[in-house]
A = this chain, B = another copy of it.
Amino acid sequence: MTRTSVLLLLAGAAFAQQPPRPPQFVSPEVSADRKVTFRLHAPSAEAVNLVGSDIPNNGKGAPMTKGAEGVWEVSLGPLAAGAYRYQFNIQGVPVIDPRNPSVSESNNNVWSLVVVPGSENIDVRNVPHGAVAAVTYQSSALGRTRRMHVYTPPGYETSKAKYPVFYLLHGASDSDDSWSSVGRAGFIVDNLIAAGKAKPMIVVMPAGHTTRGGFTVPGGADEFARDFLGDVMPCVEKNYRVRTDRGSRAMAGLSMGGGQTLSVAIPNLSKFAYIGVFSSGLFQMFGTGRGPAAQAPKGPTWEEQNIKALDEAGLKKGLKLFWFGTGKDDFLLKTTQQTVAMLRKHGFDVKYDETEGAHTWLVWREYLQGFVPQLFR
């Protein structure tokens, strides 16, 4: 190496403000046998826990052990191949991993993200890759700019063809980033297309929350439907080369997004030929013991409100797939079962898989891998 072919340029300002350099270590460290070691330098902490909803046996947090130089450590696994959100908790303060630049956005916060390789469908492999774009649009329904993520498949950019569109909705603890980060949706569709298992398609991942920092609360489902039907879909159909016939439109969502899928797609059944509901159903505010305290709304049930759409036989013919999947350990299992039964009562040919697993991204990535190959056939 010659002396002055070396260009060493430091963004010095940032460095000047760092505290004295902490010990050298890597976190997270993923071993070949899919064990993951998490480490945090916190010399004055009295206790540090690892938290993350999808980490097996993690429960209320795995206690970490303090080692040399104030570095806390815990190893988990072997973990199933996939991606995991995690944080450290230091005496009540949630802390993302300062050594890990990979993150996954949620609705109100950010998680550190570790990817455990070993899955043919999920890994970032040497196959043609599409692109996942953050797209800003003006929501006339909400009166502000909003963001969605849009996956375009390999070859889209230089093709002249029109593509089918899959609208894929996130859950209450997510943002429009989540399916692309922890959900690995772009890489999963890349791999399925490369293997000839899925048709090239555009995947639109809109923002499900209509109030910053809030759940879908009374009015929220309507707000989402207005934004989705009045802004998201027109924006996509104006700006991308997409097919707009019913057979070229699919919609699915997980948890909150599954409920939103039903609330949008059933009253607009002429627009969608494929519907997926992951770990979800029609979830009433009361009766589960999990909702925040709020005044009980009154009036007709969802079924009563949508009775005309539910009983319109003609539109059921063009519905090529209506799929539900929920894990046996999911707290929404009964909700799913009741929703499936109600829809079948109205003559829908619902496919329902009761799988292993709970209300986690481990399950939702599996559902995506099963759902996508069935689309646009």
Contacts and interface: CB of A to CB of B under 8 A. Distances in A.
Interface string A218-261: 11011000000000000000111100000000000001111110
Contact of A134 (B60, B132, B137): B132
Q: Looking at chain A's contact residues, is the secondary structure mostly helix, strand, loop, or mixed?
A: loop
A256 B17 contact: no
Identical chains in the assembly: 2
B5 A299 contact: yes
A92 B4 contact: no
Contacts of A138: 126
A59 interface: yes
Interface string A126-167: 100101111111100000010000101000011000000000
A109 B14 CA distance: 12
Interface stretch (A35-43, A309-317, A345-353): A35-43
A98 interface: yes
A291 B96 contact: no
B10 A172 contact: yes
Contacts of A217: 6, 8
Given A1-B219, A7-B282, A19-B89, A101 B239 contact: no
Interface string A86-130: 000111111110111101011111100000000000001110010
Given A2-B300, A22-B92, A99-B108, 9 more contacts: A5-B297, A17-B53, A95-B96, A98-B109, A100-B109, A101-B175, A133-B133, A133-B152, A157-B239
